């Protein structure tokens, strides 16, 4: 545990996995809203495990468990709210099994996303709901045995703080990531600089930007670097133009995506990976590049 946290602080950089939800879609699994990727936990758990294993084989050192939609808040819309803890545990177990199958240490993060649509900051619930729902999800993640909690795709400062505070009560390491478009700005319109300043008091292990197109990463890197905290990026290959999330406006081959990641690493990032639309091939290309750089030095 301490080894990867130290690497977050001082390097060498860590490699996160790529997308789970869009990879499930790419492999033919049903992913209807509201459950989206959680649907596979009910009907295709072996496929979820296979995807995790493919990312381990590709070189990922951190796996994000498929808990993006295992919050009671979402599951209740499909009549299975009482299965929140069980489905969270199943998701973590699948990631843990894949991690154990590698030839090197691989750690498991628990995803703690926004309660509502990631691209709709106007839908963020009231503060009491945020505290209650994120508190339950964080407790479920801790009970399931994650190594750390990844508060991700946050589109408002208010919900980021609520999720981060809930995660911090577990005493597990926590990371927090914001989705940014139109420069270093959250979808709420709040500045990334303000968001990073707001979460510093909660002492996250790292601050990140995710689910943003590669073309917007450079605008965010300087802000993340100025934070004085370890920072990272995992970009997507599309734009949030509809409720499902993506139009492949910035689709790029694995080698090109790895070149983008190289620029993030050069700017000081100590954690890189992929979000929506990325595949094990994209992560493999980054891993190969990171190994080549390590050998060269």
Q: Distance between CA 102 and CA 57 in Å, rounded? A: 7
141 contacts 67 by C-beta, under 8 angstroms: yes
d(CA 255, CA 237): 13
Residue 15 has a pLDDT of 98
Of 216, 282, 199, the C-alpha closest to 23 is 282
Q: What CATH number did the domain enclosing 254 receive?
A: 3.20.20.330
* Total count of domains within the chain: 1
Give the per-residue pLDDT at 32.
Answer: 81
Q: What is the pLDDT of residue 31?
A: 81
Q: Name which residue leads in pLDDT, 42 or 243.
A: 42
pLDDT at 206 over 60: yes
CA distance 159 to 124: 7
Q: List beta partners, residue 150.
A: 111, 175
Q: Of the candidates 4, 2, 17, 38, which has an alpha carbon nearest to the alpha carbon of residue 287?
A: 17
Domain that holds residue 277: 2-296
- The least confident of 31-40, 59-68, 108-117, 210-219 is 31-40
Q: Please write the tens of the pLDDT for every residue from 34-90.
A: 888 999 999 999 999 999 999 999 999 999 999 999 999 999 998 999 999 999 999
Other beta carbons within 10 Å of 43: 10
**pTM, whole model, 2 decimals?**
0.94
Return the pLDDT at 297: 47
**Whole-angstrom distance, CA of residue 277 vs CA of residue 19:** 6
Percent of the chain with pLDDT over 90: 88
The strand ranges marked E within the chain are: 14-15, 62-65, 107-112, 148-154, 174-178, 206-210, 231-235, 271-274
What whole-number distance in Å separates Cα of residue 274 and Cα of residue 212?
Answer: 10
Q: Identify the pLDDT of residue 296.
A: 52
pLDDT band of 109, cuts 50, 70, 90: very high
pLDDT band with cut points at 50, 70 and 90 for residue 294: low
């Amino acid at each position: 545990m301490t080894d990867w946290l130290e690497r977050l602080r001082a390097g060498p950089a860590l490699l996160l996995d790529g997308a789970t939800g869009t990879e499930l879609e790419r492999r033919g699994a049903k992913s209807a809203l509201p459950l989206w990727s959680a649907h596979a936990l009910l009907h295709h758990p072996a496929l979820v495990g296979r995807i995790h294993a493919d990312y381990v084989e590709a070189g990922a050192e951190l796996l994000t468990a498929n808990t993006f939609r295992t919050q009671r808040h979402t599951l209740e819309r499909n009549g299975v709210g009482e299965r929140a803890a069980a489905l969270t545990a199943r998701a973590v177990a699948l990631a843990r099994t894949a991690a154990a199958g590698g030839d090197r240490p691989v750690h498991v993060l628990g995803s703690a996303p926004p309660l509502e649509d990631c691209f709709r900051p106007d839908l963020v619930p009231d503060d009491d709901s945020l505290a209650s729902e994120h508190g339950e999800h964080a407790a479920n993640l801790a009970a399931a045995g994650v190594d750390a909690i990844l508060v991700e795709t946050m589109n408002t400062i208010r919900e980021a703080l609520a999720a981060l505070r809930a995660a911090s009560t577990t005493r597990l390491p926590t990371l927090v990531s914001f989705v940014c478009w139109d420069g270093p700005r959250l979808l709420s319109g709040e500045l990334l600089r303000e968001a990073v300043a707001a979460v510093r008091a909660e002492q996250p292990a790292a601050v990140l930007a995710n689910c943003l197109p590669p073309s917007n990463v450079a605008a965010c890197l300087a802000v993340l670097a100025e934070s004085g905290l370890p920072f990272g990026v995992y970009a997507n290959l599309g734009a949030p133009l509809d409720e499902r999330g993506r139009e492949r406006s910035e689709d790029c081959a694995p080698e090109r995506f790895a070149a983008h990641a190289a620029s993030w690493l050069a700017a000081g990032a100590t954690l890189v990976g992929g979000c929506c639309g990325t595949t094990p091939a994209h992560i493999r290309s980054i891993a190969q590049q990171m190994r080549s750089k390590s050998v060269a030095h």
